[in-house]
A and B are shown apart, each in its own frame.
Chain A
């Protein structure tokens, strides 16, 4: 389906992009790269390594991770700019640069919460040994599988969900990990996630199709302005207020995409950094020594709180293994509480001894980081399932403590955000065309009217918001594409079934294919290394 025939878009693209836009972006690129280089060099100056191998590995892994964001960028742009372009609200070049910029800003201001939520879906024992072969095999398999499927669907101009692809890849790694280890002590697959994707496959198209369609029909009743429901004639932009609305939704979707999807790569980049150069990135060196004193005080309270729930007859072997087992199996035992208390005690004593995060010696850093990570994950899962039946006041103490350890382990240096923002922004600006053509020209038989564009785009923006707030399992890509289809149907314009069939196939196949790809890649990488 690679478009050989000239499209409407080609005609629109005959105009040259704004020189100022290009110059501005070039400047941002140069400044950004310089900043990344300087920060990385200064962070790595504390690392003493006898060989260049870790640095080489770091370089390759970073390129792959940024490549993932890059491809993600040109895959998801269509969600934001397709309607703005086809309604002549924005010139294509302006639209993609605009969208790229808002993606960039979205990434920069993001908190990192999504990044670490993605990581927590991975098999816990692989995260804990990310510096070793299996951990790297996991990260490379994930990223490569996601890149392959995203590139493939992009090549054929198919708007498929990058989130589904990533979740599929995560499941694939988990499955392969489980199959490859004969012993039962490995975590398998979070099937809840797979079920979420399954639901999304059903929900998103319906939400998109019905909401956008209804919105268009409703608009026809409420807003009698005829111009709204006609295809643009020539290159005239839509009425002013509609143009504003379309530009606004394009901005909103771009920003939301940056702040959400941008983070998926960040979490993986952090895993790579922690695995290759733990001395520099396993613990947040930016935490001042004064903060360590606060940490210890908060720790003491958490320790006392947990202690009040520890049974005198509980007995543990290795507390780290005990709590990791809990995270893997979600079976909370009497001993889990004691093991967790032991870990909290030991982390506090360790930091109290070294006084500053940056002073923790190289050989104790990975353990300390893993302990903190395991404590945080355990607390998160315990709170979710109300394990141990603790009071609300006690949870307040523990949540406060969790915030403190997260500050030490779940951090994202600014340069990583800048790198991801650049990759995502660049991808947005470079690879957008194929999918935009599909959404704008190949879903319906008629040209997109202003009203259709607005209805589909507003639906997409609302669902992003709703998905964040209510945890709806929806895919923005699916919602927008179905939204365009819905407005076409509501307008009785007729649909291009060939395109829809291909899209539906890609949507259904995304999960199984990415599972298989990443599973096979993981198996392959493990067998080599």
Chain B
């Protein structure tokens, strides 16, 4: 997938140009949205660069783009720093709803079950073989080989990593103490690759590897991915229903600024490594044309745009979240 400059330039005299950058987790969705939106609004050109959430947060903080996109929320201190630097705030708008899935390449092995302890153990470097007793216990019928597990993770500052690490921090004390959550974490083991594309590619060509990618990438690359045991004790496969379930359950207490983690969500059908992906939008946009374009695009993405989510296997945003967001758009001045 070419996720560089996504919008096709259409030249007209008074074209408004808006630049955004960040998340690769949500990039396929933004790509589809932007080309659909372009057809409706030929006078607006929105570019999106899928450079990873870490890069997206950096670029919006440094004022290099008009909006950022991230699957991990900015920290309080980062928000304060933004305010101090720019004189106005930064807003989080949940735009995409997706999931990290454990994807792997083990010849002759199909869908596997993973417990939270298994995933934490593998990423902590404690579980190193595909035939580890814990893997057997979760998958009594699978014919597991004795090969080493080749752990794959992101090299760049990543929201997909944030979601993964945030989940492991909730389910594993060892992970919380030793690694913790973040866009860039101190990996105990593994080979690194850049972007969701890079990780998918590395898994695809490396036998006995395991990595985490956003669901749509696993589907697009036709990678095998496993079920994960959720907080209610059920092994759940990531799909439209289970990811939406996580969002519905967890977002009943939606905070004012929309910065909410929905990993390890309650609910018997919820997929536990689900997450919102946010658009990071300055609360003040000086250029009236850009302001109008950003507001209009965001409104469209939250309403009509939601109809396009399913074909890419991103879940629809819950109604409750959408209506709260539409009300909050007025905060963009």
What is A's interface to B at a CB cutoff of 8 Å? 303, 307, 312-313, 315-320, 335, 338-339, 341-342, 345-346, 349-350, 352-353
Contacts and interface: CB of A to CB of B under 8 A. Distances in A.
A316 B189 contact: no
B192 interface: yes
B150 A315 contact: no
Q: What band does the interface of chain B fall in when counting residues whose beta carbon is under 8 Å from A?
A: 20 to 34
A346 B58 CA distance: 21
Interface stretch (B30-38, B49-57, B94-102): B49-57
Which 5 residue pairs spanning A and B have beta carbons closest together?
A317-B55, A313-B77, A316-B157, A346-B192, A318-B156
Given A317-B52, A318-B157, 18 more contacts: A315-B58, A315-B157, A316-B156, A317-B51, A317-B58, A317-B59, A319-B155, A319-B156, A319-B184, A335-B58, A345-B186, A346-B187, A346-B192, A349-B187, A349-B188, A349-B190, A350-B191, A353-B190
Interface string B126-164: 000000000000000000000000100001110000000
Contact of B57 (A315, A320, A353): A315
Given A313-B75, A353-B191, A318 B51 contact: yes
B183 A307 contact: no
B191 A315 contact: no
B189 A349 contact: yes
A332 to B, nearest CB: 15
Contacts of A307: 186
B194 interface: yes
B186 A346 contact: no
A316 B186 contact: no
Interface of B: 51-52, 54-59, 61, 75, 77-78, 81, 150, 155-157, 182-184, 186-192, 194
Nearest to B157: A316
B150 A353 contact: yes
Please indicate which of the listed interface residues A303, A315, A349 has the most CB atoms of chain B within 10 Å of its own CB.
Answer: A315
A317 B57 CA distance: 8
A319 B155 CA distance: 7
Contacts of B184: 315-316, 319, 338-339, 342
A307 B57 CA distance: 21
B155 to A, nearest CB: 6
Contacts of B51: 317-318
Contacts of B61: 315
A352 to B, nearest CB: 7
Contact of B155 (A303, A318, A352): A318
Please indicate which of the listed interface residues A307, A317, A342, A346 has the most CB atoms of chain B within 10 Å of its own CB.
Answer: A317
A352 B78 contact: no
B187 A345 contact: yes
A352 B187 CA distance: 12
B187 A316 contact: no
17 contacts: A313-B77, A315-B61, A316-B156, A316-B157, A316-B184, A317-B52, A317-B55, A317-B59, A317-B156, A318-B52, A318-B156, A342-B186, A346-B192, A349-B188, A349-B189, A352-B189, A353-B190
B183 A316 contact: yes
Given A307-B186, A345-B187, A318 B194 contact: yes
Contact of A316 (B58, B78, B150, B192): B58
A296 to B, nearest CB: 11
B155 A346 contact: yes
Contacts of A349: 187-192
A303 B188 CA distance: 11
A367 to B, nearest CB: 9
B74 to A, nearest CB: 8
A491 B56 CA distance: 72
Contacts of A303: 186
B98 to A, nearest CB: 20
A299 to B, nearest CB: 12
Contacts of B189: 349, 352-353
Contacts of B187: 345-346, 349
Contacts of B77: 313
Contacts of A313: 75, 77-78, 81
Nearest to A314: B184
Contacts of A339: 184
Contacts of A320: 155
A315 B183 contact: yes
A315 B51 CA distance: 13
Contacts of A319: 155-157, 184
Contacts of B56: 317
Contacts of A315: 54, 57-58, 61, 78, 157, 183-184
Contacts of B186: 303, 307, 341-342, 345
A312 B192 contact: no
B150 A350 contact: no
A7 to B, nearest CB: 64
Please indicate which of the listed interface residues B51, B52, B183 has the most CB atoms of chain A within 10 Å of its own CB.
Answer: B183
A316 B61 CA distance: 11
A335 B150 CA distance: 29
Nearest to A303: B186
A339 to B, nearest CB: 8
A345 B188 CA distance: 8
Nearest to B150: A353
Contacts of B150: 353
Contacts of A318: 51-52, 55, 155-157, 194
B136 to A, nearest CB: 24
B107 to A, nearest CB: 19
Contacts of A317: 51-52, 54-56, 58-59, 156-157
B188 to A, nearest CB: 8
Please indicate which of the listed interface residues B55, B56, B61, B78 has the most CB atoms of chain A within 10 Å of its own CB.
Answer: B55
Contacts of B155: 318-320, 342, 346
B267 to A, nearest CB: 30
A319 B186 CA distance: 13
A320 B54 CA distance: 13
Contacts of A350: 191-192
B207 to A, nearest CB: 13
A210 B150 CA distance: 68
A307 B184 CA distance: 12
